[in-house]
Chain A
C-alpha cells in the first residue's frame, strides 16, 4: 500500500531544490562571482554597463541584511518565535571584526600609538583584557561565531527552559539588545563608546578601501548568503525543520509526542544568532563603521520587518524583503528623507493587513500556485 503513496521529501533521492530553484541559485552565483566583478572592475567607468562602487557597496550591505532576515525567518517564520533583539547578535559579530580592524590600524592612527585612538584619548596605557585576542584574524573569526552563539545559548537556555513564549519572549529580546546597547555606549567598557569603531585602514595587512578589496568582500558576502540559503533550505526540509514547524503550530503536542522543544528551539535560536553574527562581521569592513546604534531596538525591529515584507515561512521571501525594503530606503532617504519612516510604517501595516505571506506570497498567488507550494519552499 505504501507504493501508491506519492511521498514528499523522504525518499533518499529527492533533491534539495527544484530544478528551477537550482537555476536561480546558479544564476545568483554567476552574478555574484562573475558578472558583478567584471562590470565593476573591468568595464570602464564611462560605459553604460559599468557598475558603480556605490552600487557594489550598497548591494554588499544589503546582502548582509538579507542574511539577518533569513536568520530571522528560521526562528520567526518556521519556529514561531519572534525575536526583536537579533540586532545584538549582528552587532556582536560586527564588534568582534571591528576590534580586529582597529588593531590592524597599527600606528597609523591620529595619535601614532599602538593602542586604538579612543583608548589614547581616554588615557589608557594598556589594552583591556577582552582585546587580547583581537590581533589574530583566526581568533577573530572564531569570536565572530562564538560570542553571538554563546550569548544566544545562555539567554535562550534560560528563556526557553522557563517556557517564556510569544510576546513576552519578544519583549525580553528587546530588553536584551537595549541593555547591550547601553553597555557598549559606555566608554569604560572599552568598545569605543558612542562613536564605536571606524577609520579602518587594513584587513590582513592589505588596504581595505581599494576597489578590489571591496569586490572581494562583496563576493564573500554573496557566497555566504547563498551558502546560508542552502543550509537553511536543508534544515527546514529535514525532519528537524518539520519539528520546528510543529512547535510553531502546537508546542504541547510536540511535547506529548516525546520531543523536547527546548533542544529544538535552542538549537535553531543559536544557529540563527550565529548567522546574524557572521553577517555583522561581513558588514563592518564594507561599511567601515560599527557603533552601538546597531543594537538599538529599532534596528532589530527592522530585521523583522524585512522578513515580514518579503514573506515569512518561505526562504526566498526574507531575502527579497531585505532587498526591497533597503532598496526603497536608500532611494527614499535621498529623494524624500523626512518621509522614510512614515513609508516604512505604512508598508509594515499594509503587509500585515493585506499580505500575510509577504511579497513572495503575493507573487505566488498571482501565479496561481499559492497553496500547493506553501509548505514546500
Chain B
C-alpha cells in the first residue's frame, strides 16, 4: 500500500465518522466496498421502489393487507384493480400521506420512506399526480410550472429567486411538451379538465423525479389526449420509473401494447397483490376474471 493510498483512506474514514447515517442504512448493514451516502438514491440492487408487507387499517378495515411490491429502476408498471382495492392508499403510503401500521417502504435500497415527510419525499425524487387534477388555480400556467421547477425550496431562496435563462428554456420546452404554449399566461383555473391533467403531469416532470406515481392520469381526457399521454409516458420510461394506477383498460393496453413490449401489470385486490405479469396473462387469470366480473 502506497502512502498516498493510506492517506486517502484516512481522509475517507474521517469523512465517514461524522455521518450519522453511515453504517446503519435503514437498519441494514452497508455492503462491503460501498460507501452509503445518506439521502442519495442507491439503485445498485436494481429496485427503485420496494414495498414489503405493508398493512394499513382504518378502523379495523384493512385498506392494504400485507402488500409487497417491487418496481425496477426505469420500469413502467401499470397497477389495476377494482374500486377499493387499495390503489390510492398505496400511493398515500409511498408519498408519506398515510403511515402504515406494519411493513417497510424503501426508495432505492437505502432510503426509508416511512421516516420522511411528504415534502421530503417529493424532494428526493418521487412525484405524484392526484386522481383529481390539482393545480394552482389562481396562478398562470407558466407560474405553476415555475413553482414546480427543481430549485431550492427554502423560504429565503424563494424570496430572492430569479429564473435563469436555462430554467426559462426548461419551462418553455415543458410548455411545448404538454401542448400548453398558447395558454402560458392563462390562469390555470380556466383550463379544461384534460389540460389540467397535462399541466399537472408537466409540473411533476419539472421536478425531475426519479419515480412518478400517476393516479388515473387520463381520467376525463379525450381519446386523442389519452393516446398522446400514452406516448408521453412511454417516452419517459428508462430515465424515469413510472407507476400508473388506471381503471381504463384501453389505456393500459396502449401502455403495455397489450403485453407485446414485455411490461408487467399488477392486479390489486382487497389490499394485496392478486396477480402480476403480462397484460394478456393477467387477463386470462381465473382469479382476476372472478374479481372483476364478480363470478
Contacts and interface: CB of A to CB of B under 8 A. Distances in A.
A246 B142 contact: no
Given A5-B172, A242-B143, A256 B127 contact: yes
A207 to B, nearest CB: 42
B159 A238 contact: yes
25 contacts: A1-B173, A2-B168, A2-B171, A6-B184, A8-B185, A239-B161, A242-B143, A243-B147, A243-B158, A245-B139, A249-B136, A250-B136, A252-B97, A252-B130, A253-B136, A253-B203, A255-B118, A255-B122, A256-B95, A256-B119, A258-B119, A258-B153, A259-B147, A260-B153, A375-B139
| Residue from B136, B171, B175, B184 whose CB has the most chain A CB atoms within 10 Å | B136
Contacts of B161: 238-240
Nearest to A244: B158
A1 B181 contact: yes
B191 interface: no
B168 A267 contact: no
A349 B233 CA distance: 50
Contacts of A7: 142, 163, 168
A375 B138 contact: yes
Nearest to B126: A256
A19 interface: no
Contacts of A248: 138
Contacts of A239: 146-147, 158-159, 161
Interface string B195-231: 0000000010001000000000000000000000000
Contacts of A261: 119
Given A1-B175, A2-B172, A256-B119, 5 more contacts: A2-B168, A239-B146, A245-B138, A255-B119, A263-B155
Contact of A238 (B128, B142, B160, B185): B160
A249 B187 CA distance: 12
Nearest to B187: A375
A243 B139 CA distance: 10
Interface in B135-149: 135-140, 142-143, 146-148
Q: How large is the interface on B (under 10, 10 to 19, 20 to 34, 35 or more residues)?
A: 35 or more
Contact of B172 (A1, A243, A258): A1
A244 to B, nearest CB: 9
Given A253-B135, A258-B123, A375-B187, A238 B140 contact: no
B154 A263 contact: yes
| Residue from A6, A243, A264 whose CB has the most chain B CB atoms within 10 Å | A243
A252 B176 CA distance: 26
Interface in A249-300: 249-250, 252-261, 263-264, 267
B162 interface: yes
A12 interface: yes
A8 B127 CA distance: 27
A8 B140 contact: yes
Nearest to B161: A239
A183 B203 CA distance: 49
A250 B143 CA distance: 14
Contact of B207 (A10, A235, A257): A257
| Residue from A12, A258, A261 whose CB has the most chain B CB atoms within 10 Å | A258
Contacts of B118: 252, 255-256
A252 B136 CA distance: 11
A113 B70 CA distance: 79
A242 B147 contact: yes
A256 B146 contact: no
Nearest to B95: A256
A76 to B, nearest CB: 14
Given A250-B134, A250-B137, A10 B162 contact: yes
